Amino acid sequence: MTRKTLIIGNWKMNLTMHEASLYLHKLMEQLPVRRDVEVVVAPTMLTLQSLSLQIKRRIVKLAAQNCYWRDHGPYTGEVPASHLHGMVDYVIIGHSERRHIFMESDKDIRFKVQAALRNRLQPILCIGETAHERTLGETREVLQDQIVNGLANITAEEIDHVVIAYEPVWAIGSGEYAQPSDLAKVLKVIRQQITHLFGKEAAEAVRVVYGGSVSVDNASDYLAVAGLDGLLIGGASLDAYQFTEIVKKAHKE
């Protein structure tokens, strides 16, 4: 089974409407149309509708950085997955900033994954251990728990549409990053857990990407890791030139 490489830029709470539009204009000019890499950016919620009219989805797709899991109702300030349908292809769920700053629980994350799938969006489920958990040697258990909790109640068919982003919390925005040579162990834990829950075929179909202080300098090392299907990039994705350079490194054709 061939899995398409996925390069995702998470802009977080950066880039105004005007800046985002200029960025995408540049990106679409610079990026060659190639079929071997899927390029996705996640701008702020407010800009998505307008950007969705600007983008050429053959070149770049959009992701939301979050969504709410109910489809409508009295939930002031929330944006449901049902309203994102048609505007974005992906939605990032369970980013560590949402887990730790906004106190999202496993239940919230599980419901959001289900809401994304119900509304035909592909969830990018972020998982990863904190520095403390890493020191205690609990990485395996943390990842297993986050997978079990995040993917409860979904079917083996639905798992095909899920992307798992391994983002060790200590590596996000810190300049410290997981050694590419250490990722094999983590990939094994993730695919074993998916096999356990959904079977071998599902585990081979699901894409797993890495995120945490990826830069132009270290991207190639990650892209060479067997079984890793791409990257989730925060800081370095804010610069269209750097992001484009990383995408170019991912092209194999």
Comparing every residue's Cβ against ligand PEP, the nearest one is 234
Nearer to ligand PEP among residue 7 and residue 172 (C-beta): 172
SS3 category, 31: coil
Q: Does residue number 172 form part of the binding site for ligand PEP (CB under 6 A)?
A: yes
Distance (Å, whole) CA 69 – CA 84: 11
Which stretch, 32-40, 130-138, 165-173, 245-253, contacts ligand PEP (CB under 6 A)? 165-173
CA 150, 11, 20, 228: dihedral to nearest 10 degrees?
A: -70
Q: Does residue number 167 form part of the binding site for ligand PEP (CB under 6 A)?
A: yes
Task: Kindly state the smallest distance separating residue 43's Cβ from ligand PEP, in Å.
Answer: 13
Q: Any catalytic annotation for residue 72?
A: no
Nearer to ligand PEP among residue 93 and residue 205 (C-beta): 93
SS3 category, 41: strand
Nearer to ligand PEP among residue 6 and residue 232 (C-beta): 232
Nearer to ligand PEP among residue 117 and residue 233 (C-beta): 233
Q: Does residue number 47 form part of the binding site for ligand PEP (CB under 6 A)?
A: no
Task: Kindly state the smallest distance separating residue 10's Cβ from ligand PEP, in Å.
Answer: 4
Question: How many residues of this chain interact with ligand PEP, rule: CB under 6 A?
Answer: 12
Decide: 129 and 168 in contact? Cβ < 8 Å. Answer: yes
Distance (Å, whole) CA 138 – CA 130: 9
Q: Does residue number 64 form part of the binding site for ligand PEP (CB under 6 A)?
A: no
> Of 97, 129, 158, 167, which is the active-site residue?
167
Distance (Å, whole) CA 17 – CA 50: 8
Q: Does residue number 6 form part of the binding site for ligand PEP (CB under 6 A)?
A: no
Q: Any catalytic annotation for residue 204?
A: no
DSSP assignment letter at 222: H
> Of 83, 95, 104, 158, which is the active-site residue?
95
Which stretch, 24-32, 67-75, 167-175, 221-229, contacts ligand PEP (CB under 6 A)? 167-175
Distance (Å, whole) CA 138 – CA 92: 24
The token pair at 100 is 């730790």
Nearer to ligand PEP among residue 115 and residue 232 (C-beta): 232
Distance (Å, whole) CA 204 – CA 1: 7
Distance (Å, whole) CA 223 – CA 42: 20
CA 81, 122, 125, 187: dihedral to nearest 10 degrees?
A: 180
SS3 category, 29: helix
Distance (Å, whole) CA 11 – CA 34: 23
Taking residues 197 to 236 in sequence order and writing x for each that binds ligand PEP by CB under 6 A, - otherwise, the string is: --------------xxxx-----------------xxxx-
Q: Which residues are catalytic?
A: 95, 167
Chain positions contacting ligand PEP, by CB under 6 A: 10, 167, 172-173, 211-214, 232-235
